[in-house]
Amino acid sequence: MKGIVFLFSVLVAGCARTVGVVSPGPVDVIDHAPVEVSVNDYLRAESFLGWNAAPLVDGLALLEGQERVVQANWINPLGATDDRFWYVVQRSGARRFVLVDPAAGTSGPAFDHAAVAESMWRLNRILPGAVPITADNLPINAFTYGRDTANARLPDLSRIRFYDTTPDQSLWECTLSPVACRKEFGFPPPPDRVPSPNRRDTAVVHAGNLSVISLRDSVTASDSIILVRDSTQATTDGKPDHGYGIVPQECCNAITRGWWQDGARLPGNPPPPRPLLAWSPDGEKIVTHLYDDSRVAKLHLLETAMPRPILHSYSYALPSDTLVPTYELVVYHVKEDTLIPIEGGPMVDGFSGETFPVQWSPNSTHVFFTRHARDYKTYELVRGDATTGDTNVVVTETNQTFVSLNTLFPLLPANWRIIAGGREVIWYSERSGWGHLYRYDAETGDLLNPITSGEWAVLNVERVDDEWVYFTALGKDPDRDPYLAQLYRAPLSGDASRIELLTPEETQANHAVQISPSGNYILDTYSRRDHPGRTVLRRGDNGTVLMELEVMDISRLSEKGWKLPQHFTVKARDHVTDLHGFLHFPSNFD
């Protein structure tokens, strides 16, 4: 990305006393004893690490020891008009669940925390070693609302279901008016099972083979309708190192995936990862890959452990190796029990960890995917027919260095989207020297028009509808800090005069946004290093703030001595370019 000078910070280290002075002229050399760093200095520094500091900040989400921005949980994510959502937030050091109805303009407790705690404790108090449950320590990370008995697609806000955070992970259902909780039989769904859109079919991969578990209605002799579970083995030729839906091995995955929780090592093997596959929107097909790293050489890691180190080995191709991981895409038709290979494989492995960069067309007839050369200097966007396996290349992107599909790729997902019912695509390219969006015909591969252009960079595509694409960007407005992400929307037609800034606050900040299912509302958490965050609800069409939901309170953190950094701006060597930085001070700096 040309023209962007990256943010730098100055860390002022050491103690509060001066140990020397630098002057422009000759000076006498004075010997100083080295500054001693005490155990208390280390303890003070440790107290401000994220996992220790976050519990002292109200107005953010704190789940499993990790601080996060407020995350919207849309109650009816497929609803075109239902934009209600709940979120979890820390207030006064306790976790609170909040329900927001944007259309009504209301925000309040998702349920009576004290009553739910009391009802749960009445059942749990008889258990050996049970910890009292109160409104301030509810063992809940997340919940789902019930479903309407007449229409399962609609939510029922009169009851909630959740797995508690105790070691047993008990399943609970609570009616909310009046509050009454009961335990039910059930366990959290295994992470390696992927439900279909209709929730009646589930895809699972075991030992490199794909299976589908289905629930169907069956009429008994007494004319009762019961649910029967069937299992279909979709493939039989897979192996653990040459199989379907396999998550590519990466450095440290064997150590880090699921082995640690709350600072303690879990016994046994890590849980299986979510397989790499995607259900079609109609729930009748599955696209996955046949992944092969069977001939790839191994790399080895030694994990420090007592009484002996543990050896971990994983497949990893070095630049000089000729045998590299490859994959082929296949589409499994559930009803027909047929497997259709997508033309063009095997391809060089382009996946990273547990991401699967394949998208379905809305009508479930085609899959779109990217493939690249081993040196990443060429990327192609390809459309595959889910019935015949035939493909056509929509876009070919080349670069003398390497092709990026996002300004911060791979930290952020690739910026390409299927639009117009699968007839068109949005594609991200740095061909102009800046990251911008382009609209292509998916059938012919013709460029229809650039959507954005100029000496600034698109950061992340957040939403696309029939007329607009919503995205965050850096450096678009010359009077704004180029390192802070702002939210914009642009017409798909490419009319630059109609690009709109949706986060116009005078106090510039970095914006993390979530857009409601209908597109009518934007949940926006914005902050800066020297400005604690705020979470607001905006109108989707112009960014007007409708409700302020949360304001981060750092008073408890400040009482411990933590100091906000100071922002500064200096000129670069060319005496023209502004460089922005932050000055961080030790907590005991005078």
Over residues 371-406, the pLDDT tens digits come to: 999 999 999 999 999 999 999 999 999 999 999 999
Of 501, 507, 474, nearest in space to 489 by CA: 501
Residue 84's Cβ-count burial label (10 Å; 0-12, 13-18, 19+) is: buried
Interatomic CA distance for residues 396 and 384, integer angstroms: 15
pLDDT of residue 126: 83
| Contact assessment for residue 3 and residue 434, using Cβ atoms and an 8 Å cutoff | yes
Tokens 């000055």 correspond to: 583
Of 419, 505, 510, nearest in space to 472 by CA: 510
Interatomic CA distance for residues 274 and 258, integer angstroms: 12
Contacts of 151 (CB under 8 A, 6+ apart): none
Contacts of 9 (CB under 8 A, 6+ apart): 565, 581, 582, 583, 584
SS (H, E, C) 461-497: EEEECCCEEEEEEECCCCCCCCCCCEEEEEECCCCHH
Q: Which two tokens stand for residue 480?
A: 């704004």
pLDDT of residue 25: 52
Q: Residues in the chain with pLDDT < 70? A: 1-33, 63-67, 78-80, 152, 216-229, 250-271, 350-354
pLDDT of residue 77: 72
pLDDT of residue 19: 36
Q: Residues 351, 356, 359, 363: what is their CA dihedral angle, to the nearest 10 degrees?
A: 140
pLDDT of residue 67: 66
pLDDT of residue 280: 97
Sign of torsion over alpha carbons 169, 173, 176, 179: negative
pTM of the model: 0.86
Interatomic CA distance for residues 490 and 494, integer angstroms: 7
Q: Which two tokens stand for residue 559?
A: 């009482």
Of 122, 136, 128, 124, nearest in space to 92 by CA: 136
Q: Element (H or E) spanning 120, and its range? A: helix 113-124
Instruction: Using only the alpha carbons of the chain, give its radius of gyration.
Output: 27
Q: Which two tokens stand for residue 1?
A: 């990305």
pLDDT of residue 4: 37
